[in-house]
Each structure stands twice: as C-alpha cells, then as structure tokens.
C-alpha cells in the first residue's frame, strides 16, 4: 500500500502544512533551484573541480592562496559570480578548457553579500573553463573559516598554536572563492606550504610531500570525492596520530596535540566499530581511504564537532579522555559524538541536502542513528531512554510561536546559522523514530538503503526520502515506547491509576509519563498535585536513568522556589529521604564493575543533593576540597568536577580565590577551562560579578571567556545580560560570528527583572530581521517561565502542606 504516514501525514508534521512545501531541486545546479530559494548566485555556472593551494602565516594570522576552479558555463554571461568573504583577491584569469587565450577579468567584491564578481569585457560563452585566482585571507581567532587555537604544550608548557577550519554553514568562502552552497558539489585538490616539522591534515591522505627552503614543505593531499564545499577541511599543528584499519581496509585515526595519544583511544575504538556498522546498515561502503577525528583545544559557543568528510573536527573537551577529569557522562557523550559525526559520513556527506531548508536530513538522521548505534554497542547504557530527554527539549521550543517546522524556510546566512537547534536535531530524531516504528525497522532500513544508492555523491530533498521509504513498503501506526511526538493529557482518575502502577511500567514509559505530566502541569493544563504524586512515586532504588530524571526534576522545583526557605527545606528533605539511601548504597567513590547508568546516577545524586544543601554531601565536598591544599591532584577522577561544582556554588571569597589559583596553575587545556568555568557558578552575586570582570581580562583562556559569562548568566541573568550589553563590542570578539545573536539572547534566559527584559527587547530592536529569532525565542521563554512559576510554586506548596 502507499505509505500515507511518511508521505502526506509526515509532511504536515515536518512542514506545518497539509502538503509538501516546495523543495529545492536535487538535480545538478545546471538547472535552477526552486523559485523560493533565495541565492545570490546566478544559475549560470557550476564547478566540477577545485585545486587550492594555501600558505598560512600562523604568527601573523594571515594566509596566501591560489585557487583553480574547473567550471561549466551553461548560458552566455557577462560575469562569473562566486562567494568570497574577507578575502583580498589580487588577480583572476579565465581560460577556456580546450585551449585559447586567457580572458582578462575585472574583480569586484560585495562584502555585504559575501560575493566576488569576475566580469569580462565580452560575454562569456557557454562551455568549460578554468578560473584561477590569487588572493589572501585572515586566520580568525574564533571558529569561522580558517582559525587558530592557542594552547600550552603538554610536556613543556610552551605556547603552541594549531590551525583548523570550520566551514559549515557558509564559511568555505573565507578560505577560497567558491560556489559555497550545498548543491554545488565538486572534487577538491588541496595543497599547503607549511613548517616542515608540523603535521598537516585534510579530508584525504597525503599524496606527497616536497621539501622547500626555509624549513618549509609542500604537502599535497589526494583528490577528494565529489562533495559540498562546507565539508572541506584543513588542519595544521604539532600533532600526533593513532590509527588502525577496519576489516574492509579503511584506516580510522585520531589526530591530537602531541602527548595526548592515549586520551584518544576511546574515540578510536568507537570509530573502528562504527564504520563497519554504518557500512552494513546503509549498504554503502565508506568511500574514502581514511577517516580521522581531528581534535583541537578550546571551545566554541556555536558547535562542538563538525563532520568534515574524512576529517571530523571535535574540540578535545568532548573527544579525549583525561583520567584526572573526564566523567562517566562525558565518556558516554564521547561515544555518542563519534557516532553522530561518523553517521554524517553517509547521511550528510555521501548524500547532502540540496538546500539548508532540509538541514534536518543531516542532523535529525545523524541524531537518530547515533542513538541507535550507541545502544547497539553499549546496551547497558540504555541510550534509547535519552530520546525522551531530547524530545522534551524539542517540545519545549515547539511550545512558542517562534518555533519552526522541521523543514524550514532558509533565506539568509544568519537564518542558516540559526537552523542548528533542538527542532532540527531532537524533533527530527523523534519524528524519525516514530516513522521507523510506523514503517517497521526492516522496511525503514530498506528505504534508506535505496535512498543512499540512488542519491550518493548527490543532493536530495525530503520528498526523495519519502519516495524511497514508500517504495520499500510499510504497514501499521503504533505508538509504543514513547515514540509519538505528542503529549497525552489523562483524566485525573486515570493519572492516579497510572501512579499506583508506576513501578510496574517500563522505564521508558515511566520517564515519558513523568516528563509529559510535569510539562502539562507547568503549562496549566492540569493541577500540580497529581503530577507531584507521580514524581514522588519514582522509587529511589529503581532504574538509574529514571531516578536521574526524577532527582533532576526535584532540583528544578527546589530552584524555582526562589527565596522561600521553608518550602525549599521541605523539598530538600523529601529528596534526601527518597534518594539519600540510594546514594549511600552507591557510595561517594566509583566502584569496579558498576554500570555506566549507575555511575551517572551517583554523579547526579551528588550534584542535585549537594545543590539542595544535603548535609552529608556538603560535608564531603568541603573535605575533598580541603585535601587539594596538600595535593592538587587529590580529587582527580570522574567525579572531580561534580565535587568542585558544589564547592564553587557555595564558595566564600577565600574558597573562590583558591579555585582561581588552581585555574591559574593548571596546565591542561580542558582542566584550566573547567576551573575558570567553575568560578562562574558561584551563587554569591559579588563573586559572580568578579567572574564577569575576570572574563574580560587575559587571565582566562580566550575560548573560555565567553563561556564564563554564560556560566554566570545561568544563575544571575539580571547581572550577566546588562554586563554583556555594556561590554558588547568586547564580548563579540569572543564569540563566533555565526552565533552572536543566540549567545547574547541566552544570557538573559534566567532573568527575572522587567528592566532586563526591556534591555533584551532593545537588543532585539538593534538587530536585522533575520537575526531576531533567537532573541524573540528567549523573550517568550522568560515570559512564560515567569508566568508559570507562581502557579507551579502555589501547587507545590499546597501539595507539601498536604503531606
């Protein structure tokens, strides 16, 4: 039968309409994209191959480049138009492919549109050409285009600088003049003139190296497969690499700063399993000879990892295992991150959305199969339960008029950057899980295999996927295991019956019911009492993932009570009575043989009970912190940050100063950033202001400074946002161009004062229309939180009184 669910019914869920929104054509750019797609490029030419050579000057933060683009002109035109951003193009020539005299070109740059126009004296006739340019560009200090990250050498403490690239969404144009849209796929040759002692990394293996004068070498990489420009990658630095081959002969590797190879073993082992797994699942072999995870120090306010084909980039704080610091939750996150980015090598790289409207085809699918693969290889982690939390994040954003369909209209660079959100990732994953259940796992996989086979090395739109799944055939529509993307409002009698049988339900249904009913009560659809009865029915000794969610919800209720000490003491006593015995059973220290969910539960119980002032936890935190005076490594281990966060939240000025001294003394990139982040978590307003002031000095690492301001905003939005507005220009230098509106808006998310909201509205008014969405979203979230909190607190207090 014809599949209605993933066809018209799914279209309504994904687009917010009853029929498909027009999608960009998946054919080559020789044919124009759909009329509603706004592109600054005229559809008169398309590339087939790039040959790019660069020579970076890391000290001066500049680079020189030469680019040769083989392209086809489809219709006579007076000029060729490519994307270029922050490039100085010195010269350009156009040569017919069959030979003939070069055509002189006049260069005109349009900085506001990020375009380079190459005009000829006479019309350029249809045919094949080679466009050669010489140019120079900037090495940025934030993660846009080619950028630099500074760090201290692990062994010597000497300063080091690594170079990396980040091109998604539209920043390949900062590296060379390009047709920088996903539908313009081409092959790439990349070469670089670099210091002889450093390692250069790109999408493909090194084809050859040539020694040059002046302690330099020229590194030339093998030709890439046909791919979109945003997937190109280049890295350079004092690196080391560990690697091993899969059974099919693909070499997987992890590239790290020198001295950290042992920390990359978990990621390497994960990749070694995942490449064969995805090869089998999609019935498509991995098409490159190698796949590297390239790690860099620092952090970004926009992204954590990027799926460059054959050379994934990931910040080391979410890829490397530091035994002195890495928590069990972070280890799980490393696995999930590697799974997500490795999945992109097929879903996103081999087959790419034709336009950013269909970004969910990349991110929603990578999120969905990341969870599937993590659960496959690590069944005791119960990764499928995490989908409930992801769904909650998406539904939270979906509750506002500022939400958007999964398939969204993208028209500008800024709109593209804002598309990377919970709707694209988590709602996309939730919808896919629901459709997989509808079609059946085998039928769904066969549809995906057909889609991959038909569209590989090309582009696709959502309609293409639906057709492939429909062709595979599907039957049913069921909603077991919390797979439906909706909430269920039960009559109070039914809710009470579910509460009585709560312990007998499957963990995923317990988790879903708890989260659903809390959301419904907070929104005013039902009284708080029945929901709180259900939350109180979560046994302290039950499933660790459900218990983690429950203690987290008690923590939110506690925090929402503000200055009501009596009610907060009641909630804290209830939480300690219910979950204190579980923590005592688990113990304060990791135990051999325990499962990862148990280890995560211990960490969450320590954190939540400590935040609520549990006497035993607070005493242990101060005892452990005191031990650092004699031995700075006394707290090393997976719970180090957990214990220190309790101390930092309740710190006195001397304790805060001690944390600052530990931050200064730390040599590890991640550890140093962690310490400075802890300084930003103090509840004391004076210490929070001290952290804000410190963030604008050279004391903290550059990439940690914006995170410090964000850390303060988590508890002191009325302090952090005005500070940010007063220092807007300085702080903007610390944040990626692609995420500035989102970053500043988030600083006000915890605000309570009307004057802060007024300042946020004024900030919104200062922005272009295509940058306002994240600010409008934050305004809506804050207003709803403030409107709901009084009702939640009243219901909670009445419930507590009744107990």
Residues catalogued as catalytic: 341
User: Could you tell me whether strands 45-57 and 187-195 are parallel, antiparallel, or unpaired per DSSP bridges?
Assistant: parallel
Residues 704 and 673 sit within 8 Å (Cβ to Cβ): yes
Q: What angle do CA 754, 760, 761 make, to 5 degrees?
A: 90
Instruction: Tell which phi-psi region holds residue 333, choosing left (phi > 0), alpha (psi between -120 and 50) or beta.
Output: alpha
- DSSP-assigned letters across all residues of 564-604: -HHHHHHHHHHHHHHHHHHHHHH-SS--TT--HHHHHHHHH
User: Do the beta carbons of residue 742 and residue 736 sit within 8 Å?
Assistant: no
CA distances from 3 to 17, 308, 462, 477 (A): 18, 34, 15, 11
- How many CB atoms within 10 Å of residue 527? 15
| 295 DSSP β-pair partners | 314
Q: 161 and 237 in contact (C-beta within 8 Å)? A: yes
Question: Cα separation of 377 and 57, whole Å?
Answer: 43
* Pair type for strands 103-110 and 115-124: antiparallel
**Closest C-alpha to 733, from 696, 769, 759:** 696
Do the Cβ atoms of 671 and 637 come closer than 8 Å?
A: no
What's the Cα-to-Cα distance from 220 to each of 51, 66, 204, rounded to whole Å? 10, 14, 10
DSSP E strands: which ranges in 246-391?
A: 251-257, 290-296, 305-306, 311-315, 351-353
Residue 530 and residue 551: Cα distance in Å, rounded?
18
Q: Tell me the C-alpha to C-alpha distance, in Å, between residue 533 and each of 87, 217, 415, 726.
A: 62, 69, 43, 46
Whole-number Å distance between alpha carbons of 3 and 177: 44
Q: How far apart are CA 742 and CA 72, in angstroms?
A: 39
Asked if residues 410 and 770 have their Cβ atoms less than 8 Å apart, the reply is no
What DSSP designation does 380 have? G
Report strand pairing: 127-138 vs 216-221.
Answer: unpaired
CB atoms < 10 A from the CB of 108, how many?
13
**Torsional sign, CA 557, 563, 567, 573:** positive
Residue ranges of the alpha helices (H) in 456-522?
462-472, 492-500, 507-522
Helix (H) or strand (E) holding 119: strand 115-124
CA distance 92 to 188: 19
Q: How many CB atoms lie within 10 A of CB 30?
A: 12
Question: Which among 138, 69, 137 is positioned nearest to 105, based on CA atoms?
Answer: 69
């Amino acid at each position: 039968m014809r599949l209605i669910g993933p066809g018209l019914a799914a279209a309504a869920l994904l687009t917010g309409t009853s029929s498909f929104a027009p999608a960009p054509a998946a054919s080559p750019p020789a044919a124009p994209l759909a009329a509603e797609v706004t592109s600054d490029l005229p559809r008169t030419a398309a590339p087939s191959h790039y040959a790019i050579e660069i020579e970076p000057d890391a000290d001066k933060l500049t680079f020189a480049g030469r680019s040769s683009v083989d392209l086809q002109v489809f219709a006579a035109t007076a000029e060729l138009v490519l994307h270029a951003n922050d490039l100085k193009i010195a010269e350009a020539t156009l040569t017919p492919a069959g030979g003939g005299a070069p055509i002189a070109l006049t260069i005109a740059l349009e900085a506001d549109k990020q375009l380079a126009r190459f005009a000829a004296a006479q019309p350029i006739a249809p045919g094949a050409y080679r466009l050669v340019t010489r140019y120079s560009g900037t090495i940025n200090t934030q993660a846009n285009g080619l950028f630099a990250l500074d760090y201290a050498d692990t062994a010597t403490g000497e300063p080091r600088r690594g170079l990396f690239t980040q091109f998604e969404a539209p920043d390949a144009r900062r590296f060379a003049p390009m047709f920088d849209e996903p539908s313009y796929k081409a092959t790439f040759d990349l070469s670089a003139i670099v210091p002889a002692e450093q390692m250069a990394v790109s999408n493909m293996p090194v084809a050859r190296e040539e020694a040059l004068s002046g302690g330099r070498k020229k590194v030339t990489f093998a030709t890439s497969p046909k791919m979109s420009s945003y997937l190109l990658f280049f890295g350079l630095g004092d690196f080391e690499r560990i690697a091993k081959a899969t059974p099919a002969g693909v070499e997987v590797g992890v590239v790290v700063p020198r001295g950290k190879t042992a920390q990359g073993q978990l990621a390497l082992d994960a990749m070694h399993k995942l490449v064969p797994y995805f090869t089998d699942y999609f019935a498509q072999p991995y098409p490159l000879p190698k796949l590297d995870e390239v790690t860099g120090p620092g952090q970004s306010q926009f992204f954590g990892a990027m799926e460059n084909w054959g050379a994934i980039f990931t910040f080391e704080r979410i890829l490397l295992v530091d035994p002195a610091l890495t928590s069990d939750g972070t280890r799980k996150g490393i696995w999930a991150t590697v799974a997500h980015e490795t999945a992109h090598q097929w879903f996103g790289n081999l087959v790419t959305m034709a336009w950013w409207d269909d970004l969910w085809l990349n991110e929603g699918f990578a999120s969905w199969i990341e969870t599937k693969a993590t659960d496959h290889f690590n069944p005791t982690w119960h990764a499928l339960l995490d989908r409930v939390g992801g769904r909650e994040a998406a539904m939270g954003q979906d509750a506002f008029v500022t939400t958007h369909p999964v398939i969204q209209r993208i028209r500008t660079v800024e709109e593209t950057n804002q598309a990377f959100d919970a709707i694209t990732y988590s709602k996309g994953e939730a919808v896919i899980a629901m459709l997989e259940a509808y079609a059946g796992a085998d039928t769904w996989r066969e549809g995906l295999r057909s889609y991959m086979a038909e569209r590989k090395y090309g582009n696709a739109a959502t309609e293409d996927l639906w057709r492939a799944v429909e062709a595979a055939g599907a039957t049913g529509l069921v909603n077991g295991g919390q797979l439906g993307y909706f909430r269920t409002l039960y009559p109070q009698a039914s809710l009470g019956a579910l509460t009585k049988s709560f312990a007998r339900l499957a963990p995923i249904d317990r988790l879903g019911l708890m989260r659903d009913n809390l959301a419904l009560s907070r929104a005013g659809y039902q009284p708080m009492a029945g929901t709180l009865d259900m939350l109180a029915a979560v046994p302290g000794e039950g499933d660790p993932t459900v218990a983690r969610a429950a203690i987290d919800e008690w923590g939110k209720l506690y925090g929402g009570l503000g200055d009501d000490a009596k009610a907060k003491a009641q909630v804290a006593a209830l939480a300690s009575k219910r979950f204190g015995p579980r923590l005592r059973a688990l113990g304060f220290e990791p135990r051999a043989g325990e499962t990862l969910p148990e280890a995560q539960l211990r960490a969450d119980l320590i954190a939540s009970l400590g935040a609520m002032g549990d006497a035993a936890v607070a005493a242990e935190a101060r005892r452990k912190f005191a031990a650092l005076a004699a031995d700075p490594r006394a707290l090393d281990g997976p719970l180090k940050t957990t214990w220190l966060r309790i101390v930092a939240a309740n710190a006195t000025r001397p304790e805060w100063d001690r944390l600052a001294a530990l931050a200064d003394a730390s040599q590890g990139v991640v550890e140093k950033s962690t310490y400075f982040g802890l300084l930003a978590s103090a509840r004391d307003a004076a210490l929070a202001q001290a952290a804000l002031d410190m963030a604008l000095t050279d004391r903290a690492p550059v990439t940690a400074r914006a995170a410090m301001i964000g850390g303060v905003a988590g508890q002191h939005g009325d302090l952090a946002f005005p500070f940010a507005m007063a220092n807007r220009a300085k702080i903007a230098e610390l944040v990626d161009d692609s995420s500035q509106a989102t970053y500043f808006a988030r600083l006000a998310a915890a605000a309570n004062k009307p004057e802060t909201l007024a300042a946020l509205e004024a900030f919104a008014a200062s922005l272009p229309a295509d940058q306002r969405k994240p600010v409008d979203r934050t305004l809506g979230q804050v207003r709803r939180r403030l409107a709901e909190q009084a009702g939640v607190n009243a219901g909670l207090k009445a419930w507590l009184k009744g107990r």
